[in-house]
Amino acid sequence: MSELRKDIISGRWVILAAGRSKRPDDFRPALLEKKEAPAGFCPFCEGNESKTPPEVFSLRKKGTGKDKPGWWVRVVPNKFPALNRGTPPVRHDEGIFQWMDGVGVHEVIIETPGHNKELSDLPLYHLQYVLDTYKDRIISIEKEFQYKYVHVFKNKGKDAGASLSHSHSQIVATPIIPKGVNEELYGCERLHRQFGECIFCRIIHDETRIGDRLVLRNDHFCVATPFAPRFPFEMRIYPLRHSPWYTTLNKIELEALAKTLKIVLEKLKNVLSDPPFNYFIHQAPNPNLPHEAWVNLEKSFHWHLEIIPVLTRVAGFEWGTGFHINPVTPETAATFLRA
Amino acid sequence: MKKKLLIVEDEKNLCVLYKEELTKEGYKVTAVMDADAALELVKKHKFDLIITDIRMPVKNGIDLITQIMALRKDIPIIINTAYQSYKHDFMTWAADAYVVKSASLDELKSKIKELVG
């Protein structure tokens, strides 16, 4: 029997059509990804620094120079960006239509100098370098007031949108707050007024108490499958300490996040045979700007990281209705992921 | 000495147009209509610049660039395509410039000048 479930924050409903799939392996035929042929050349590899724009940030060995080999993590602007840095864009109205200049930031975080290393293969200290780099770049970009929102995300595998297998993440900063983030912010604000506490803090508390969707919990983070997940094996990493911004993570928390993320990525790899996936950080908008619209932003929003394995296709029903059909209940997914 | 350009363009009329226009600009131009022919030429001759289309039958321009880079990383390459969408593919970073085809060849000519003079 299928079930309809509502996501409390977004108000979005999902259809859990469980029962069709008994094992994680049942999804493997759905994976359409072809293994990438070995590339003869990769612009992200160490030694090919001249093929990227000049780096804006790197963590590198002592004595090595900018845009030269010897780095662990390297950040470069997108060579052919869709959005360009610039002055705050002016919003134009043409009757009922609005437009503005394509101002924004698009950077690529090259997570490792080696072509064949995946994020989950990296030693903990190196994974922490990547997470430190996210923090550093967000803080740096948020100093430019025209960028209201900084989005950090990773696509792994062709079916998840990665055009290159060399492990990398991306940062896109925009002069507007994306609709999906806005809806989450408003949802959290509404629920904060209703319950008098942060809804994510409540979710962490309840998921820990119930335990059915809990994947793991340590001193600093909690990983759970959401109550109404759009996709099979979707997971969220929640920090236990309430904060709307990823950039407030301290050194100990970053170390704990590296450990947590490594475990989660290894679980994905083992349980689902190395699937393509996306992950992204949802955090509050640029803290250097006023946010009149959300009175309790600091209390109501709680940054988190969402991980979505790409195991199913979004098709006509999902696009047309906003409903997602998920063939795996989050409780079943969590059982496999805990094992 | 004239700079040597290699143009890879599967549309015959454009191939002829580019060759004529860039020859007038003072370059020595070789034009081929498929990626494999281009690759063979790169193995045998030294070009100062390669201009390649992306969407071509048999082998696309991105695969061609990857193979050229494996042979010689120092050849400047311009992607000359009708599509903006390939910018999402990070393999295009192996190229030095990305030009979207238009009726005017001004942008293409200016990028060539920028890269080889």
**A71-77 vs A57-60, strand pairing mode:** antiparallel
Q: Is the separation of the CB atoms in B93 and B85 below 8 Å?
A: no
- Closest Cβ–Cβ partner in B67, B87, B94 for A43: B94
Q: What angle do CA A17, A18, A19 make, to 5 degrees?
A: 125
pLDDT tens-digit profile of A82-116?
898 888 888 899 999 999 999 999 999 999 999 99
Lowest mean pLDDT among A141-155, A309-323, B14-28: A309-323
A82 and B87: CB-CB below 8 Å? yes
- pLDDT classification of A75: cutoffs 50, 70, 90: very high
Mean pLDDT score of chain A: 92
Q: Distance (Å, rounded) from C-alpha B4 to C-alpha B11? A: 21
pLDDT number for residue A27: 62
In a domain, B87, yes or no: yes
ipTM attached to this prediction: 0.86
Q: Distance (Å, rounded) from C-alpha A252 to C-alpha A246? A: 13
Q: Distance (Å, rounded) from C-alpha A189 to C-alpha A300? A: 5
- Return the closest-CA partner of residue A147 out of A179, A118, A124, A176: A176
Which stretch of DSSP H or E encloses residue B6?
A: strand B4-8
Q: Which residues contact A302 (CB under 8 A, 6 or more apart)?
A: A188, A198, A199, A200, A201, A238, A239, A242, A243, A244
Backbone angles phi, psi at A93, to 5 degrees: -115, 130
In a domain, B116, yes or no: no
Whole-angstrom CA distances from B104 to A326, B31, B109 are 50, 19, 10
pLDDT number for residue A33: 47
A38 pLDDT higher than 60: no
B66 and A108: CB-CB below 8 Å? no
In a domain, B97, yes or no: yes
Residues of chain A contacting residue B91, judged by C-beta atoms under 8 Å apart: 39, 43, 163-164
Q: Distance (Å, rounded) from C-alpha A296 to C-alpha A87? A: 29
A310 pLDDT higher than 70: yes
- pLDDT classification of A21: cutoffs 50, 70, 90: low
> What fold does the segment set A3-18+43-338 form as a domain?
HIT family, subunit A (3.30.428)
Closest chain A C-alpha to B88 CA, distance in angstroms: 7
What is the mean pLDDT of the segment spanning A49-75? 97
- Span between the terminal Cα atoms of chain B, in Å: 12
pTM, whole model, 2 decimals?
0.92
DSSP state of A10: T
Q: Is the separation of the CB atoms in A120 and A263 below 8 Å?
A: no
Residues of chain A contacting residue B69, judged by C-beta atoms under 8 Å apart: 40-41, 51
B98 and A51: CB-CB below 8 Å? no
- Can you say whether the dihedral through the CA atoms of A302, A305, A309, A313 is positive or negative? positive
Q: Is the separation of the CB atoms in A111 and A167 below 8 Å?
A: yes
Q: Is the separation of the CB atoms in A289 and A173 below 8 Å?
A: no
In a domain, B91, yes or no: yes
In a domain, B113, yes or no: no
Q: Is A82 on the interface with B (CB under 8 A)?
A: yes
Whole-angstrom CA distances from A251 to A64, A306, B107 are 25, 21, 48
In a domain, B10, yes or no: yes
Q: Distance (Å, rounded) from C-alpha A43 to C-alpha A66? A: 16
In a domain, B112, yes or no: no
- Closest Cβ–Cβ partner in B67, B69, B88 for A163: B88
Residues of chain B contacting residue A79, judged by C-beta atoms under 8 Å apart: 92-93, 98
Q: What is the number of domains present in chain B?
A: 1
> What residues of A are labeled active site?
168
Tokens standing for A124?
A: 């903990």
Closest chain A C-alpha to B71 CA, distance in angstroms: 9
Q: Is the separation of the CB atoms in A245 and A289 below 8 Å?
A: no
The range of the structural domain enclosing residue B94 comes to 4-104
A108 and B90: CB-CB below 8 Å? yes
A41 and B90: CB-CB below 8 Å? no
- pLDDT classification of A131: cutoffs 50, 70, 90: very high
Task: With H, G, I as helix, E, B as strand and everything else as coil, classify residue B50.
Answer: strand
Q: Which DSSP string do the residues of A226-274 spell out, in sequence order?
A: -SS-SSTT-EEEEESS--S-GGG--HHHHHHHHHHHHHHHHHHHHHTTS
Task: With H, G, I as helix, E, B as strand and everything else as coil, classify residue A319.
Answer: helix
For A63, how many CA atoms within 13 A lie in the half-sphere containing its CB?
A: 0
Residues of chain A contacting residue B65, judged by C-beta atoms under 8 Å apart: 41
Beta bridge partners of B31: B7
Backbone angles phi, psi at A152, to 5 degrees: -110, 130
Structural domain boundaries of chain A?
3-18+43-338
Top pLDDT among A36 and A142 is at: A142
CATH number at residue B76: 3.40.50.2300
